[in-house]
Amino acid sequence: MTVLRIEHLNQIFGRNTPTETYALRDLNLALEQGDFVTVIGGNGAGKSTLLNSVAGFLPVSSGKISLDGQDVTTQNVAQRAKMISRVFQDPRSGTASHLTIEENLALALQRGTTRRFWRMGVRKQDHEKLETSLAQLHLGLENRLKDEMGLLSGGQRQAITLLMATLETPRLLLLDEHTAALDPKTSATVMSLTSRIVERNHLTALMVTHNMQDAIRYGNRLLMLSHGKIVLDLDQEAKQHLTVPDLMARFKETQGTTLSDDSLLLS
């Protein structure tokens, strides 16, 4: 079953001006149920634009986006949140700092529902569920439900954002370089947690990353974007035999240049 379908998507910035640029150019993509797709590409290749278009942050210039066969092209972020959840690059973006851990999680439990005056925001009967799911992070946060989010470290917040994104199983999980702002050790922890959660819940996920190692190691399909187009699309089998130098070579081929800051991230 096709979860996400993108047809002839164009994102044009500065239309009808001398600086008109195509951030995405006639992009087509289909994600099947259970696909975990990693996306790489240089700066300005269109990775973030792609994710923002799917999430609804960016109205499309032209083209069509559908989720589970339903056309969502004109829906806003909040409407699409019924089906899509997202983890941002900045750990502060995914959680509300002045609310408690419990309140943040409760907000995520209510994702996609209409909020009511006659229902409590934090419900006693959810308490156990929240504690159990926090315990699964192995960060010792299960006893800190009443603590303010702002007290936690970036890694802890990112782990909680990930938990929030999957507390109510989404149809599509968007990961926007969600480990890029973390130190290498925390980044690895959050990445393995991501993989565990995606596998356990059989999620369909689209992950943008700067880390080529991660792009190869995780997921069952790898896309490379360049100048708003998909220039490389590798399936599970092709991915298995891929090494980072291979990928670098392919990158140079498509880009015509060498990687600059991206190469620093290679281990």
Q: Which residues pair with 39 in a beta bridge?
A: 208, 223
* Element (DSSP H or E) covering residue 39: strand 36-41
Q: Closest separation between CB of residue 94 and other proteins, Å?
A: 6
Distance between CA atoms of residues 197 and 239, nearest Å: 21
Q: Site for other proteins (CB under 8 A): which residue of 115, 124, 185, 241?
A: 115
**Which range binds other proteins by CB under 8 A, 21-29, 65-73, 112-120, 238-246?**
112-120
Which SS3 state, helix, strand or coil, does residue 240 take?
helix
Confirm or reject binding of residue 18 to other proteins (CB under 8 A): no
Answer whether 196's CB lies under 8 Å from 231's CB: no
**Closest Cα partner for 159 from 222, 82, 101, 99?**
101
x/- mask, other proteins, residues 160-179, rule CB under 8 A, reads ----x---------------
- Contact letters (x/-) for other proteins, 118-157, by CB under 8 A? xxxxx-----------------------------------
Least separation in angstroms between CB 111 and other proteins: 5
| Locus of tokens 């087509």 | 28
- Which residues, in sequence order, are bridge partners of residue 225? 41, 230
Does 49 interact with other proteins (rule: CB under 8 A)?
Answer: no
Give the Cα separation of 13 and 244 in Å (integer): 32
Instruction: With contacts defined by CB under 8 A, name the span among 4-12, 26-34, 75-83, 256-264 that binds other proteins.
Output: 75-83
Residues interacting with other proteins, by CB under 8 A?
55, 76-79, 81-82, 85-86, 88, 92-99, 103, 106-108, 110-113, 115-122, 164
